[in-house]
Amino acid sequence: MTPSDNTEAATPGGVPAQAERPRRDILAVVVRFQSLIGLALVLAGGIAFSPVRRGTLLFLAPDNVANIIRAVSETGIIALGMTFVIITGGIDLSVGALLGLSSVLTATLLVNGGWGVLPTLAAVLAAGTLFGMAQGVISTRFRLEAFIVTLAGLQIARGLALVISHNQYINISYGEGAGLAPQAFAVLGTRLFGNVVPVATLVFLALAVIATVLLNTTRFGRYVFAVGGNERASRLSGIPVGQVRIAVYGLTGFMSAAAGIVHAGQFSFGSPNDGAGYELTAIAAVVIGGTSLFGGAGTMVGTIAGSIMLGALANILQLNNISAALQLLATGAIIVLAAVLQAIVGRRDGSGR
Amino acid sequence: MTPDGKDGALASAPVLLRLQGIEKRFGGVHALRSVDFDLRAGEVHALLGENGAGKSTLMNVVSGVIAPDRGSVELDGRPVRFASPRDAQAAGIATIFQELDLVPGLDVAANLFLGREPARFPGLLRTRSMARDAERLLAEVGVPLDVGRRVASLGMGQRQLLAIAKALAHAPRVLVMDEPTAALSTTEARNLFDTMRRLCSRGVGIIYISHRLEEVPQVADRVTVMRDGRVVGEERPDAPQGRLVQMLAGRPLNELFPPRAGSAGEELLRLDHARYVPRASPAGWQVPEDVSLVVRAGEVVGLAGIVGAGRTELLTCLYGEGPRGRWRGTIRVQGRAAALRGVAEARRAGLAFVTDDRRGAGLMLRQTVARNVVASILRRLSPAGFMSRRREGEAVQRAIRAFDVRPPRGELVVGNLSGGNQQKVVFARELLHEPRLLLLDEPTRGVDVGAKSEIYARLRELTARGLGVLVASSELPELSGLCDRIHVLRAGRTVAEFAAGADEAELLAAATGESVLEVAR
Amino acid sequence: MSTTRMLTAALLTLPLLALAGGAAAKPLSKVCGPNNKYVIGFSQANFAEPYRQHVNNDLAARVKAIPQFELQIADAAGNDNTQVSQVENFMTQGVDLLLISPFEAAPLTPVVTRVFQSGVPVIELDRRTLGSNRTAFVGGDNTKIAFEAGAYTAKILLPGGGQVAVLEGLPSSTPAIERLNGFKDGVKQNPKIEVVAEQAADWLPDKGQTVFAAMLQAHPDIQVVYASNDLMAAGAYLAAKGAGKEKQVKIIGTDGLPGPSGGIASVASGQWAATFIYPTGAAEALDLAKKILLDCAEAVPTVVTVPTEAVTLDNAKDLNAKLKF
């Protein structure tokens, strides 16, 4: 068979030739694991430039590592959900506001509602999931851009949070009796294993494992990749595209609610304004992790590494007392680099975008 | 046109453009092998070739899109070397590509002057003089268009004419047209041919690229046929079609198609005055209005019709993928009444669909062969919701072997495969689902001859095992050679039925609603 | 800052000594003495607010006079999580004293508690965390500052009475509530004064302008507007000017920031009647730090309230010159 059809023979970029394969594969591997490589580089930099005190590298001290992961746990949890949405080619801007709403809801139910810990967790997670699914339903049913629907969702979530909280933040105090939350909830703000590892960190890592399994080994994960790879092809293959879309927004809603609970637990506090801008941090982590904003490609491991990398970068800069401005510049540069690498590989694959 | 009367005059007309010994390689693909080609003033020189034969590559050399590895290009006897399409344009070579470079949201005048808008300080458009110049230009080309109309509101034929007018604004000597009639109705095509003739009479030379044999005698003065990157010969436009086909395919037409199966089995699909009633009909959509046909196990049934006759729409609606709405009339699948209200239902009923838009709608181009192939049977491969790697691997290997996807490696990215192999991946995916009735829309578009004949052979194997196939195609020889029966669609209605080996002229006549004689003319 | 102010500060100080039984004999900091070098970590709630920028500048300028101290300032950018993380990083770095203006109280309480219980002295500046796990708090008294602004209105600006309007800060924030109530208590000293309008403008200048323009429409005879910060006062001035009433309306700001675009300059130029300084507490905080680290103090006052100062046309020019860094 002639190894080419018309279109490909005519455009040098779309050459199907086997000759170039090895080079492309190396680059593709770099992109696939770009955030792990980036994380390794940041960690190496962290070790090289770490301040030393009493003979130990501060950067690698167990409590510092735990701190790094704690600092990114909320945005990291959100990024886990965001990865699913972005692989389907969508976007969810409501996550940060939903975190605020969930933290307020958690605090209100525990403090003012007198609810137990488990009913509260169930209610908040269910509310977040439903909120996300509602966005998915609206976007699918009326064929609206997810950008618009979730932008509206952002406003609505913030508005609801302000209504529920009466425009005030709600402190969570623990104890028995009216106006006090059950002591069990305080565990989210504590540290385990010799008072070193924050529970928030553990929650993030546990959800990360679940999300990885969900994306990589289940039918649902495949549906997500298929819908993002080509929606029409998926539909023609009998994949319930609408349901998949609704489910991924439900998933970001769930993750945002989980992050909101962690927020309320870590800080004993529910604030309607918290989580502002988290959607952008989460998207940055996902993109740095090698997930394509055009959908159809991405890894959960990449997202996790991307999140931790951002945290490690902030940490090493601060340990060396370098200004926050430089941190923003570095983050911006890394995002651009990640996007450029993806674009190069995308073009080489000859599939256009 | 009277070729005889013009022959003498044309043969003595000066050569405008001469290509000699053109070579081009893309990686391992030898796209052009020592190609010679020339064009005289005032002639239409048709360039025929299957997809992948190299004709588009050759035209990209002419229009400066790519540079040849070896060989010379002469314009008016002087050697030229184009670094960019802009260079070629400046030298008097205008190209109208398949994807028209028009902006749908702007009006006709604005499109004509796109990128060279007459403006005065500080950037204000001279709209009035633009409109005046646009009218003059359109009149010259003989294209009666309202310059204030938005291009989005024009039909494909009018857009094609507008694209020509736009190309002519540069007063070219050579006009290259790549498959200009691909999306045109018969009347629109005739309009286009009239305009082309008018241009020739003013000394413009036209290179006309097509794979539609039937158009050649209507428009061309000379025909050059390419295959596998080589020129295989030059012919007069009135050469017998069989001869041209043999040159194109590299073998006699009848060898391209496998022998038909013997007998047909049970009825898989029956439509009796079926029509589709959408809640709202999308613009440019020909809804199935009144369709009656039968597909039996072991049969390949063809759907013929001109562009816009509703072939794709019929298949899409049968597969439950049409706009919101419902079928009326009788539909029976495997003897049972079926509503076919969604993809899920259609698939349960045993239908599978291979779309004509392979790159746009058929494949996840950036994902691997394996991921694409199993997309239709994910449910079966994940009993408890978790993917079974073992079953998946087996399914992928089975599919790759059954359809001979090359190279046979599931981990390759589909976007990197050739068109033919991409199409095989689509087939493999649909067949893994084990359907009874396969709906095919232009199954060989953009596929080279070798892959075509493989696909035909594979289809016959499938029907021999009891599958039924309903195939829509705009290539009449394909329908005529492949199918057991052919239904002709016109404006969403089945208007005629032909037996195997139907005469192409008769098919065309039924499709356009004109008499056979008229079409032959 | 002047010695008189230091004295006033000392007088106002609540003389609560950290009495912990026999532990009173132990220095507050594990490491102390006049000859060591010390790193002080300052976690600032949000650099983007002009007042907080002013605090940073004040601290940075004053710490230069103490050769044993090195000051590291981190910007929490108005985010609790970032601020917690910064405090954790200060701990990792092993700072000798934590200075912090928490963005919000509850979220920062656990981490500040951890720092304090690990033996590092903690001085909270301007805003407090919950509970008492800190070495000391240094800050102004919002209620008192606003009360003085109210009293100034009652006695000096409108002795004969008249209509007064109030621009409130972000409604959910403690300073907004304290400043509103303090001012209203202050003007009560003159029964002929009527507060005809009070609305939130969320600390923002543009919102201050919009809100005050509407107030002037509804109440054309407003003679004094009290803005709970300088930014809203600047907005109020633009609104008054827009209505052609910049002579009729006397404006009072709060914070009294120095510099060409600060409130003090606006008073000096005659645009505003007055502004009431919300003190940075920088001098007082560093003074405490010196006692803890250099003098090995065994006890310091746990609350230091820094008094305000009224800025009027009389002293504005002098103050602005003095506060230049």
Residue A148 covered by a domain: yes
From the CB coordinates, do chains B and C have 3 or more pairs under 8 Å?
Answer: no
Cβ of C86 under 8 Å from any chain A Cβ? yes
State the complex-level ipTM. Answer: 0.76
More confident site: B500 or C266:
C266
Cα C313 to Cα B289: distance, rounded to the nearest angstrom? 88
Distant-in-sequence, close-in-space partners of A213: CB < 8 Å, separation ≥ 6 = none
Q: Is B83 exposed, middle or buried (0-12, 13-18, 19+ CB in 10 A)?
A: exposed
Residue-level pLDDT at A10: 35
Of C92, C105, C108, the CB nearest to A319: C92
Beta carbons of B455 and B444 less than 8 angstroms apart: yes
Residue position matching structure tokens 């004053």: C62
Residue-level pLDDT at A1: 36
Q: Is the dihedral of CA A131, A136, A137, A142 positive or negative?
A: positive
Q: Which residues of chain A fall short of a pLDDT of 70?
A: 1-25, 28, 31-32, 345-353
Q: How many domains does chain A have?
A: 1
Cα-based distances in Å from A268 to A96, A106, A176, C78 = 18, 10, 16, 17
Beta carbons of C149 and C117 less than 8 angstroms apart: no
Q: What is the CATH number of the domain that holds A102?
A: 1.10.3470
Cα B332 to Cα B352: distance, rounded to the nearest angstrom? 16
Phi/psi for B31 (5° steps) reads -80, -35
Structure tokens given for C165 = 């309007």
Mean local confidence (pLDDT), B231-252: 78
Residue A294 covered by a domain: yes
Mean local confidence (pLDDT), B386-412: 86
- pLDDT of residue C15 exceeding 70: no
Closest CA to A153 of A253, A39, A295, A239: A253
- State the pLDDT confidence band at B118, using cuts at 50, 70 and 90: low
> Can you give the residue range of the structural domain that contains A273?
37-43+58-348
Residue-level pLDDT at B5: 43
Task: Please name the amino acid found at residue B141.
Answer: V
- State the pLDDT confidence band at C130, using cuts at 50, 70 and 90: confident
Using a CB-CB cut-off of 8 Å, the residues of chain B touching A17 are 26-29
Q: Which residues of B383-407 are buried (b: 16+ CB within 10 A; e: fewer)?
A: eeebbbeeebeebbeebbebbebbe
* Inter-axis angle of helices A278-288 and A73-87, nearest 10: 60
Instruction: Pinpoint the alpha helices (H) of B52-155.
Output: 55-62, 85-90, 108-112, 127-141
Q: Percent of chain B at pLDDT above 90?
A: 15
Cβ of B139 under 8 Å from any chain A Cβ? no
Using a CB-CB cut-off of 8 Å, the residues of chain A touching B413 are 349, 351
Chain-chain contact of B448 with A4 (C-beta, under 8 angstroms)? yes
Residue A226 covered by a domain: yes
The C-alpha angle B281, B283, B289, rounded to 5 degrees, equals 50
Closest CA to B304 of B443, B486, B143: B486
Indicate the helix (H) or strand (E) that contains A3: none
Distant-in-sequence, close-in-space partners of B157: CB < 8 Å, separation ≥ 6 = B184, B185, B187, B188, B189, B191, B192
Beta-strand runs (E) in chain A = 52-53, 56-57, 170-171, 191-192, 197-198, 269-270
Using a CB-CB cut-off of 8 Å, the residues of chain A touching B447 are 5
Cα B326 to Cα B322: distance, rounded to the nearest angstrom? 9
Residue A17 covered by a domain: no
Beta carbons of A80 and A303 less than 8 angstroms apart: yes
Beta carbons of A218 and B385 less than 8 angstroms apart: yes
Chain-chain contact of C84 with A315 (C-beta, under 8 angstroms)? no
Among A8-22, A122-136, B336-350, C21-35, which is the least confidently predicted range? A8-22
- pLDDT mean across residues, chain C: 87
Of B57, B60, B385, the CB nearest to A220: B385
Structure tokens given for A28 = 């593709």
Residue-level pLDDT at B520: 39
Put residue B503 in one of left, alpha, beta given phi > 0 → left and psi -120 to 50 → alpha: beta
> Which chains share 3+ C-beta pairs under 8 angstroms with B?
A
Using a CB-CB cut-off of 8 Å, the residues of chain C touching A315 are 85, 89
Residue-level pLDDT at B214: 72
Of A222, A232, A346, the CB nearest to B378: A222
Structure tokens given for C110 = 């656990």
Highest mean pLDDT among A251-265, B311-325, C11-25, C165-179: A251-265
Query: Per-residue pLDDT tens for C51-100?
Result: 898 899 999 999 999 999 999 999 888 888 899 999 999 999 899 999 99
Highest mean pLDDT among A162-176, B299-313, C19-33, C265-279: C265-279
Residue-level pLDDT at A350: 43
Using a CB-CB cut-off of 8 Å, the residues of chain B touching A220 are 385
Mean local confidence (pLDDT), C221-231: 94
Residue-level pLDDT at B99: 65
Residue A29 covered by a domain: no
Residue A5 covered by a domain: no
Residue A313 covered by a domain: yes
- pLDDT of residue B278 exceeding 60: yes
Domains, chain B, ordered by start = 8-92+172-249 (3.40.50.300), 265-350+435-521 (3.40.50.300), 359-434 (no CATH)
- pLDDT of residue C21 exceeding 60: no
Chain-chain contact of A10 with B364 (C-beta, under 8 angstroms)? no
Of A7, A17, A238, the CB nearest to B27: A17
Of A269, A318, A321, the CB nearest to C104: A269
Cα A224 to Cα A248: distance, rounded to the nearest angstrom? 8
Mean local confidence (pLDDT), C251-265: 88
Cα B419 to Cα B442: distance, rounded to the nearest angstrom? 13
- pLDDT mean across residues, chain B: 82
Beta carbons of B436 and B468 less than 8 angstroms apart: yes
Residue A159 covered by a domain: yes
Mean local confidence (pLDDT), C21-27: 57
Residue-level pLDDT at C242: 87
Neighbours of B135 (CB within 10 A): 16
Query: Per-residue pLDDT tens for B7-66?
Result: 555 667 888 899 999 998 876 667 888 999 999 999 999 998 876 678 878 888 988 888
Using a CB-CB cut-off of 8 Å, the residues of chain A touching C107 are 266-269, 271
Phi/psi for B333 (5° steps) reads -115, 125
Residue-level pLDDT at C147: 95
Chain-chain contact of C88 with A167 (C-beta, under 8 angstroms)? no
Chain-chain contact of C106 with A167 (C-beta, under 8 angstroms)? no
User: Coil, helix or strand for C299?
Assistant: coil
- pLDDT of residue C17 exceeding 50: no
Cβ of C131 under 8 Å from any chain A Cβ? no
- State the pLDDT confidence band at B253, using cuts at 50, 70 and 90: low
Chain-chain contact of A219 with B379 (C-beta, under 8 angstroms)? yes
Highest mean pLDDT among B270-284, B468-482, C278-292: C278-292
Mutation pick from C52, C89, C112 vs chain A, by most beta carbons of A within 10 Å, is C89
Cβ of C88 under 8 Å from any chain A Cβ? yes
- pLDDT mean across residues, chain A: 84
Of C74, C81, C104, the CB nearest to A318: C74
